[in-house]
Amino acid sequence: MSSQNEGSNVRLLRVGEQVRHILSEILSRGDVHDDVLASHVVSVTEVRMSPDLRHATIFIKPLLGKDEEAVLKALRTNTAYLQREVAHRMTLKYATKLKFLADESFDEGSHIDKLLRDPKIARDLEQPDEEEG
């Protein structure tokens, strides 16, 4: 049974990656007729598929995180077009519903990096080494 789950997970990842590539291509070619999307470089960082492949959560990040809310609004406004394009280019039984969210992982990583560079934290991290030597 675990090999069946593993196969299912591989399929979810494969389909998610296919959706990511399709959306990246559509956005990079400027196929969506939207001024906000035309004026921003948008990265599709991750796509998470539901187990039944009917829903996809798409994580995006505009270049330099610029105008993130405006870009998300534009993507959400154009969701019907994007869903049609994804469905047209894929061979799934059902058209996948797309949901766009901002990818916060970059912000979290930057925050952690900033914390680790804080002199107080850095000093605490160095103390165990001094005790050993």
Residues facing residue 102 across a β-bridge: 60
pLDDT confidence of residue 110: 65
CATH fold group of domain 2-102: GMP Synthetase; Chain A, domain 3 (3.30.300)
Which of 36, 24, 28, 47 has the alpha carbon at shortest distance from 98?
Answer: 47
- Report CA Rg, the chain: 20
Look up the pTM and report it.
Answer: 0.75
- Which one is predicted more confidently, 121 or 70? 70
pLDDT in tens, 17-27: 999 999 999 99
The domain segmentation of the chain, as residue ranges, is 2-102, 105-133
